Amino acid sequence: MAKKVLMVTTNFSDINEEIHTGVWLEEFAVPFLTFKATGYDVTVASPKGGVSPIDENSLNCSNPMELDDAAKYLKNTAKLSDVDYKSFDALFLPGGHGPIFDLAHNDDLRAVVEYMYIYDKIIAAVCHGVVGLTYAFDCKENPILKNKQVTAFTNKEEQIVKMREFMPFSLEDKIKSQGAVFIADKPWSEHVEINCNLVTGQNQQSALLAAEGVISLL
């Protein structure tokens, strides 16, 4: 049987009237296409289901056509609470700034992450998608990120893109507050950390490496 991967994306789109966000297309499309090419069965879900908005800044003429083709799977995602997550072998959380607003505190996602962690499934996240792991705990009520080497979009990268003031909190600081060992490479580096069954990627440049990390573990 083909391995099954659950990808959970954001429904959040509007930070304010002028600043819009969502999922960063490359962080979804590259892993999605990589998993499909490997022969995996991939389900795309979001907290509310339906449209998972794409950050307009991730749409540009230099994107390969395959990325645009993958974008259609974000137009009608499954509602996370309707998904039988116990049947999946791996969980993957793409980033973009959207997740920090809705995946951070989502009870349905927390249940998925905690189940996957306790039963030694593969858990992966890239960039701001890592925020979806910061409210999950193990069976002893310890944060699952505690004592793990973890990476994600850094404070320095947030400053470079001039978005830090619009974030409800610092992702890097939040991860550190969980007792994780935060590992940062240079801005926009291809950088992934793998700890047992946990895979985290620093930014959009790390999406392929994160997906390959999942495949190597599966």
What is the pLDDT at residue 69?
A: 85
What is the pLDDT at residue 20?
A: 94
What is the mean pLDDT of each successive set of 10 residues along the chain, which is 218 residues long?
Answer: 96 95 97 97 98 92 80 96 98 98 96 97 98 96 97 97 95 97 97 97 97 98
Residue type, 113: V
Alpha-carbon span 133 to 217, nearest angstrom: 19
- Diameter of the chain by CA atoms? 48
The DSSP secondary-structure symbol of 119 reads: T
Residue type, 148: K
What is the CATH architecture of 4-217? 3-Layer(aba) Sandwich (3.40)
What is the pLDDT at residue 60?
A: 80
Within 10 angstroms of residue 171's Cβ, the number of other Cβ atoms is: 28
> With 0-12 CB in 10 A as exposed, 13-18 as middle and 19+ as buried, what is 78?
middle
What is the pLDDT at residue 70?
A: 92
What is the pLDDT at residue 209?
A: 98
Tens digit of each residue's pLDDT (9 = 90 or more) over 114-127: 999 999 999 999 99
Residue type, 42: V
Q: Please enumerate in sequence order all residues whose Cβ is within 8 A of that of 95, keeping only pairs 6 or more positions apart, or say none.
A: 23, 24, 27, 125, 126, 127, 128, 129, 130, 153, 203, 204
